[in-house]
Structure 1
Amino acid sequence: MMKFLKRLLLFLIMLLIGAGIYGYYNGMTVEDYKALISQITINQETKESEIEEEEPEDEIIAAEKKKITKPEGQKTELPSSGKPKKETKYELLPEPKNRFAQIDHFASNTPEEVHVDVITLAAFLQEKAKTDLEKARAIYVWIVENIRYDDEAYNTGVYPNYTAEYVLESRKAVCEGYSNLYLALGQEMGLEIKKVTGFAKGYGYRNKTKFYESNHAWNIIKLNGTWRVFDSTWGSGYGENVNGKLVTSKRMDSYWFNVDPYEAIFNHYPKDIGYCFVQPLISLSEYEQMPQLMGDFFSMGFNGKEVYAEVIAKPGLKYPKSYDLDTYVEKISAPRHSQLLVDQVYHFEFFIPRAYKVAAIDADNGWTYFERNNGRFSLDLILQKTGELSIGVQHEKGGTSYQTILKYHVLEQKVLN
């Protein structure tokens, strides 16, 4: 830019010199010179004004001009309106504060010398804890950050004896070891804690699969007179099938800390029915027929107790498919059931403080954008197309792509009559 201005200035100087010589030989008056200089000045100011208006594009708008990745492999096209209008840069809001931030930081920075045994580690972890809940949190954070899932044992079927001491030393385990270590540390801290074995709808599970033997272990802790569910195995990361083998990746998931039994019952069924802590109690066969609703469904705001009551009363009800996003999502309002009807109006509203945009995408790849206001995204949607309806979110950690949080199915009116 500076080089261009220097060249322009040099050109104007040369032009003035040339004009002077030309005027001298052609008898130009002083007034003629003034008019010429005035016109040149006006042209220069206009050019500089145009240059100043060429500001860098807003990063979000620039990204929209490129090919946008849509949810679940849909075709990537810009909205039918064409080139997006320039907008003010988005002001993202902070996520809700972590009430356990101090405990989490303390547990995450445990010195290596206290890892020698369960007694020493437990004594250190409870130093900053003032309540049983904070003690349970310190244990949870330490385990999910320091213990890896034993992929090799799972893939070969050869399991060592996962005592608490073995897990602490080897830093690897399957659910048996995770729950044994949580139990040992909790007991050392004086928590009312138990280990539970049962039937989980986790990695590799297929809808309505029958269970013949238990396949998982977790913990329950009594807090203020109420039993709650804790699963440090599921809280430590996630698994994927790679060439027929389980490959896990570490990522702390706080949802599995202090879970409501009415939410856990959709994917954790104890061998001892007395550890369900729900009413009415259900049998294993009833559990097998229940929808597989996971933590991301409840963490965004759907009520476990209400959904459980519905499922017991009407076993055939279906619920939207939910997806975990690496950002805070709070459902303020959204249909609880997956089957929606054409020509009906549905209200959607979410609080997603670190999101740029939210959109509803129908089966014909039609996009309807939510209204954005201080981290809240709302939309009254009139459904016009049958088929799949996805709610996609563009947020700061997802680049230009829209990541799905909920999927519904839109049906003709007569289907549900």
Structure 2
Amino acid sequence: MRIPKTAFVFLFLHIFFLNFTFAQKLSEVDKIVAKYPKSFNTTEKLAQKIEKDFNSDHDRARAIYTWIALNIKYDYNAFLNPPKVRGFSYSSEAEKQRKIKQLNDDLIQKAFNSKKAVCEGFTALYQYLAESVGLKCEIIRGDSKTSLRDIGRKTTFSNHAWNMVLIDKKWRLVDVTWGQGYYDSSKGRMVNDFAPIYFDTDPDYFFAKHFPDSGSYLGTRLSKDDFLNGPLIYNKTIEKDYKIKSPESGILEVRNGEKLTFEIKNVSKSNQVFYLNKKNQPVKVQNAKEKRGGLEFQILYDNNVGEYITIFIDTNSIVSYKLVQKERI
């Protein structure tokens, strides 16, 4: 999980505007799992409880996601100070595989017993529990897009991991690490905030924020340029299905006095739309027009606009862009 050690204050303002309650975010499966004990004696007992309480593959996969997200916390200290990689020797392929399995089992049990993990522990535990209830599950490693500085990066990195789980003959995307909460840069710590949106996430949203090391998803090549140069979207964007129609690029070349045009689907004039200037002051959008099931509006680029611009809807950050001044001719 890639979490920036420093960041611009306005990127994280959405943290303070989470205006929905925990109960409102819970599905019926979540409500049942929320009443589970925070600790089980063994992973097998947790898997048995989930198998007993839920009949469908979907509900079991969701129950595992919810229990982990509610009870395993992101170990930010381990992220900052990762343990040394444990090496081992082996004399045969069978011995090698046994030792790899033992390391993986140790990782799973450490996450389960300590209630702390980084993304490797989250994904390994999710896969183990999913397979324990009869589900096919894989771990995918790749890049993650979490901060303004990720817009327009030159290359991808292998810095995160997530899962795919097979439900009703369809592979579903799951990021239980992000489901458990977020990093609050103003407090310098992780904040527990259950996010259902990273279970069975729409691939279009998922791959705006994730890029697998393989560069492909179910055999289809993904665009690395779209990932690196696309805008940064936020949790509320996914939750509310706010589709960012334009600009499609996250890097906008601008001149002073130029108007930037934005179009966002599934939002209307009843919503409050604003952005923050470079002094972190809110500026309300006044010229929004309803268009094709969304809003189209313009923002004047001048000296009051900073290097990045983040659009907010009803006090929730939705999308950010990087602004690059055009060279004068």
Q: Which category of TM-score, normalised to the shorter sequence, fits these structures?
A: 0.5 to 0.7
Please say if residues 229 and 249 of structure 2, whose CA atoms lie closer than 8 Å, have aligned partners that are also in contact: no
Structure 2 counterpart of 1:255, one-letter code? I
Question: Using the alignment, how far apart are the partners of 1:175 and 1:129 within structure 2?
Answer: 26
Question: Using the alignment, how far apart are the partners of 2:57 and 2:162 within structure 1?
Answer: 18
Distance 1:351 1:184, change over 3 A: farther
Structure 1 counterpart of 2:230, one-letter code? P
Aligned equivalent of 2:79, options 120, 130, 154: 154
Under a length normalisation based on structure 1, what TM-score does the superposition of the two structures give? 0.53
Match of 2:50 in 1: 125
Q: Over alpha carbons, which structure has the higher Rg?
A: 1
Distance 1:132 1:351, change over 3 A: farther
User: Where does structure 1 lack aligned partners over 5 or more consecutive residues?
Assistant: 1-70, 74-92, 311-315, 321-336, 372-376, 395-401
Question: Using the alignment, how far apart are the partners of 1:216 and 1:345 within structure 2?
Answer: 31
Distance 1:351 1:177, change over 3 A: farther
Determine whether 1:264 maps to 2:206.
yes
**Within-5 A mapping of 1:51-130:** 101-111=27-37, 115-130=40-55
> Residue by residue, what CA displacement relative to the aligned partner does 1:188-217 show, whole Å, maximum 9, x if unpaired?
1111111122222347963314345x2221
Question: Using the alignment, how far apart are the partners of 1:96 and 1:138 within structure 2?
Answer: 16
**Within-5 A mapping of 1:237-276:** 237-241=181-185, 247-273=189-215, 276=217
Match of 2:218 in 1: 277
Determine whether 1:188 maps to 2:132.
yes
> Residue by residue, what CA displacement relative to the aligned partner does 1:230-283 show, whole Å, maximum 9, x if unpaired?
01111111124479xx62111111111111333322332223445x2374444x
Structure showing the higher strand proportion among its residues: 2
Distance 1:155 1:125, change over 3 A: same
Aligned equivalent of 2:301, options 374, 383, 386: 386
Match of 1:299 in 2: 239
Please say if residues 72 and 404 of structure 1, whose CA atoms lie closer than 8 Å, have aligned partners that are also in contact: no
**Within-5 A mapping of 1:4-19:** none
Higher relative contact order (CA 8 A, sep 6+): 2
Match of 2:249 in 1: 318
Please say if residues 211 and 227 of structure 2, whose CA atoms lie closer than 8 Å, have aligned partners that are also in contact: no
Structure 2 counterpart of 1:350, one-letter code? V
3-state SS, counterpart of residue 115 of structure 1: coil
Match of 1:358 in 2: 272
Under a length normalisation based on structure 2, what TM-score does the superposition of the two structures give? 0.65
Distance 1:257 1:348, change over 3 A: closer
Structure 1 counterpart of 2:180, one-letter code? S
User: Where does structure 2 lack aligned partners over 5 or more consecutive residues?
Assistant: 1-8, 12-19, 86-102
Structure showing the higher helix proportion among its residues: 1
Question: Using the alignment, how far apart are the partners of 2:149 and 2:275 within structure 1?
Answer: 28
Question: Using the alignment, how far apart are the partners of 1:167 and 1:266 within structure 2?
Answer: 28
Structure 2 counterpart of 1:291, one-letter code? G
Identity of aligned residues (%): 21
Please say if residues 218 and 230 of structure 1, whose CA atoms lie closer than 8 Å, have aligned partners that are also in contact: yes
Question: Using the alignment, how far apart are the partners of 1:191 and 1:287 within structure 2?
Answer: 32
3-state SS, counterpart of residue 141 of structure 1: helix
Question: Using the alignment, how far apart are the partners of 2:146 and 2:296 within structure 1?
Answer: 35
Please say if residues 262 and 278 of structure 1, whose CA atoms lie closer than 8 Å, have aligned partners that are also in contact: no
3-state SS, counterpart of residue 139 of structure 2: strand
Residue 96 of structure 1 deviates from its aligned partner by 12
